[in-house]
Amino acid sequence: MLFTSTTVDFLSRANLNLLGVGMTRIYHAVRFKGGTAYVLFDGCNWNCSFCVWRKVTRWSLCLPLETRRKLDYMWRTGRVRYLSVNEVVDLLKKARVTTAFLGGGEPTLDPELKALMRALRREGIKPWLVTNGENLDDEMVELAEGATFSIKALDDELHRRITGAPNGKAIKNFRRYAGTGKLVAETVFVPGLVECGEIERIARFIASISPEMRLRIDPLVQGVDIEKVDECIERVREILPKADRIRVKGSVEPPEVLYPEV
Ligand code: SF4
């Protein structure tokens, strides 16, 4: 039988969801040297034209290409399944994880997210959401140690062009939760689409609500012009002093794959 991704989704991943109480849409987790983990949820309600998770890899970008290829093969042949809340907690507990970044994909779409966050809290593991913010609610914010809230564009027409969705609900949620002190804003510098002018508008919007908030400006993975991004960061800092990008010094040790086993 020829296994296609769709066949496998139906036969293994989705069916397990029907059978299993407490089954999440988590299919991948890695642990970094410092004790943090990145946990990936399958699926997203938006369809960003530059989405790394959709267009480049569904696995941690910090893994070597060879490992990601092996994982791709395992995914195509049905050897990756969704994990239950208990399985995820056990996995992270055994690996002595201190903070679990919950992203993907979009974690807030998972009906088991809050149960997972509560269970992680009980084990002393801090849950940190990485989200587009559209479905964020009071309980999620309450349970989260923090949330990286991605603003793709402030201009609604541009937002629809990038993501296929309006930004009204996400922006409303940003305003609602900015005062909790738990949000870190993030945006992506996309040449020809989200350039510095739009990022300055985003920064002005954030500064009008929370001038001390951090804003992470990610260079687009598929075609990085770091110099242009750094010039932009300098401009944005005049509006929002805590704007920056992730800076990596030297070579990065790849994380340990906690699931699936390779
Ligand atoms: S919101 Fe994030 S995960 Fe969803 S499509 Fe956009 S970049 Fe990808």
DSSP state letters, 157-187: HHHHHHHSS-SHHHHHHHHHHHTTT-EEEEE
User: Using CA positions, which residue lies closest to atom 7 of ligand 1?
Assistant: 51
Of residues 108, 99, 128, the one with CA closest to residue 32: 99
Report the pLDDT value the prediction gives residue 26, as an integer from 0 to 100. Answer: 98
Task: Give one word for 5, left, alpha or beta, with left for phi > 0 and alpha for psi -120 to 50.
Answer: alpha
Q: Compute, in angstroms, the gap from residue 95 CA to the centroid of ligand 1.
A: 28
Amino acid code (one letter) for 35: G
Of residues 221, 215, 107, 205, the one with CA closest to residue 156: 205
Distance CA 217, CA 41 (A): 23
Q: Where are the domains of the chain?
A: 23-150
Task: Give one word for 235, left, alpha or beta, with left for phi > 0 and alpha for psi -120 to 50.
Answer: alpha
CATH of domain 23-150: 3.20.20.70
Q: Compute, in angstroms, the gap from residue 176 CA to the centroid of ligand 1.
A: 21
Amino acid code (one letter) for 42: D
Report the pLDDT value the prediction gives residue 13, as an integer from 0 to 100. Answer: 60
Ranges of beta strands (E only) in 42-199 are 99-104, 126-131, 146-150, 183-189
Distance CA 41, CA 28 (A): 8
Q: Compute, in angstroms, the gap from residue 162 CA to the centroid of ligand 1.
A: 10
Report the pLDDT value the prediction gives residue 7, as an integer from 0 to 100. Answer: 42
Amino acid code (one letter) for 182: K
Report the pLDDT value the prediction gives residue 12, as an integer from 0 to 100. Answer: 56
Ligand 1 atom closest to the CA of 53, numbered from 1: 8
Q: Pocket of ligand 1, candidates 27, 39, 59, 132: which has the most ligand atoms within 8 Å of its Cβ, to mutate?
A: 132
Mean pLDDT by 10 residues, the chain (262 residues): 44 51 93 97 96 93 96 97 97 98 97 98 98 98 98 97 97 98 96 95 98 95 85 97 90 93 94
Q: Beta strands 215-219 and 146-150: pairing type?
A: unpaired
Report the pLDDT value the prediction gives residue 252, as an integer from 0 to 100. Answer: 78
Q: Pocket of ligand 1, candidates 27, 102, 106, 151: which has the most ligand atoms within 8 Å of its Cβ, to mutate?
A: 106
Report the pLDDT value the prediction gives residue 20, as an integer from 0 to 100. Answer: 54
- Taken in order 93, 99, 105, 110, the sign of the CA dihedral is positive
pLDDT for 43-53, tens place per residue?
Answer: 999 999 999 99
Report the pLDDT value the prediction gives residue 249, as an integer from 0 to 100. Answer: 77
